[in-house]
Amino acid sequence: MDNAFYLILNMSLSSIVVIAALMLVKLIRSLSKRVVYPLWGLAFIRLIFPFALSTRWSLFNFTGNLVKRLITAETIIRTEIPIPGLDKWSVMNMIGAAQSYFPFEYRTESYKRFFTISSLVWAVIAVAALLAACALYMLTMTELRKAQPLKDDIFRSDMLLSPVLAGVFRSRIILPEGLDPDSPEGKMVIAHENVHQKRLDNLWRVLAISVACIHWFNPFVWLMVRMFFADMELSCDEKVLAEGKYGIEERKAYARTLLSFSEDKSFLISTAFGQSGVKVRIINILNYRRLTAIGAVSSAIFLFVLVLLLITNPGVGGGF
C-alpha cells in the first residue's frame, strides 16, 4: 500500500503544475468556455494515469529540479515479448525518497516508516470519502425517484427549487413545481439539461468527485474540481446559446431564467440549472460572442500546443 501511495503522491504533485497552468489559461477572457472546459481533462489524466509520453515539448522540461527522476515504462513493465515504443513512456518521480523501484526500496528507514503510516491514513480517509459520496448519491437518487413523469424523460418533483439532471447513464430531467416544460423558460431549461445529458456531464462529475476522494490530501485538486464544475455550467450555457442562435433578447431571457432558479443548492452528482456561480454565468451569457472561423482555428492550435506541454513528461534523455 505504501508503494501505491508513493505513486499517487507523485501523480498528485505533477497535477499541481498542470492545474496552475490551466488556472492561468482561464484568465484569457477571449477563450471560449467550451474550449476551457475539456482542458480540465489534462489534469484528470495526470491524476489517474501514472504513465505519459516523454517528449522535448513537455512543460516539465522547464521546471528545473522539480522532477527528481524519470522512470521509463520498460523498467516497470517487464515482459518477455518486447513492446515497441515502451521506452518512450515514463513515470515522473517528484519526491526522490526511493532508492530503487522494482523492487521498491526507500533511501532510509525513516522514509519507509513515514510512507507506511501515511499510506494507511490515506487509504482510510480515501475509502471513507468514497463511501460517503456513494451514500449521499444513493440517498439523493432515492428521493428523486419519487418524481412524477411528465413526458419522455422529463419529470416533476415538489422537492426541488431548481431543475436538475439526475442519474448518470439513464439520466432524467426533473423540473420543480410551477415550471411548464412548454413555456419559453421551460424550453431553455430543458435545452440546457439536454446538453448536459448528451455530454454525459454527470458521469464526469462522478469521475471528478472520485478523483478528489483519492487525492483528498491535495487542496489544488479540490480547487480544480470546483473550477471544473463552474466551467461545466459556463460551457453548457454557451452551447445552448450557440445551438439556439440566441440574439440579445433571447440571451437576456435566458439570464433571467437562470436568475430565477439561482438557489444555492449543492448536488453532488446531479447537475442543477441554477448552481455554480450564477453572477459569472449571467455575465458570460450577456457577453457571449459566436466563435468565428479564425477563432476556431486559433483555439485548435492553442489546444494542440497546450496538450503537448501539459500531457507529456520530460524527454527521457534529459538527464533525469
Contact 265, 133 (CB under 8 A): no
Q: What's residue 22's pLDDT? A: 94
Which residues make Cβ contacts (< 8 Å) with residue 126, sequence separation at least 6? 213, 214, 216
Q: What's residue 319's pLDDT? A: 35
Q: Comparing C-alpha atoms, which of 265, 320, 307 is closest to residue 53?
A: 307
Please give, one letter per residue, the 3-state secondary structure of 50-93. Answer: CCEEECCCCHHHHCHHHCCEEEEHHHHCCCCCCCCCHHHEEEEE
Which residues make Cβ contacts (< 8 Å) with residue 50, sequence separation at least 6? 7, 10, 11, 91
Predicted structure pTM score: 0.86
Bridge partner list, 72: 90
Whole-number CA gyration radius for the chain? 23
Tens digit of each residue's pLDDT, the chain (320 residues): 778 888 899 899 999 999 999 999 988 888 888 889 999 999 999 999 988 888 888 999 888 778 877 777 666 666 555 566 677 888 888 887 777 766 778 888 888 888 889 999 999 999 999 999 999 888 888 878 888 888 888 999 888 888 888 888 888 999 988 888 889 888 999 999 999 999 999 999 999 999 999 999 999 999 999 999 999 999 999 999 988 888 888 888 988 888 887 754 555 555 666 555 777 888 888 888 777 778 788 888 888 999 989 999 987 544 33
Amino acid at 296: A
C-beta neighbour count of 270 within 10 angstroms = 24
Please provide residue 318's backbone torsions phi and psi, each rounded to the nearest 5 degrees: -85, 15
Cα 163 vs. chain centroid, distance in angstroms?
22
For residue 103, say if its preceding peptide bond is cis, omega within 30 degrees of 0: yes
Q: Comparing C-alpha atoms, which of 144, 250, 149 is closest to residue 191?
A: 250
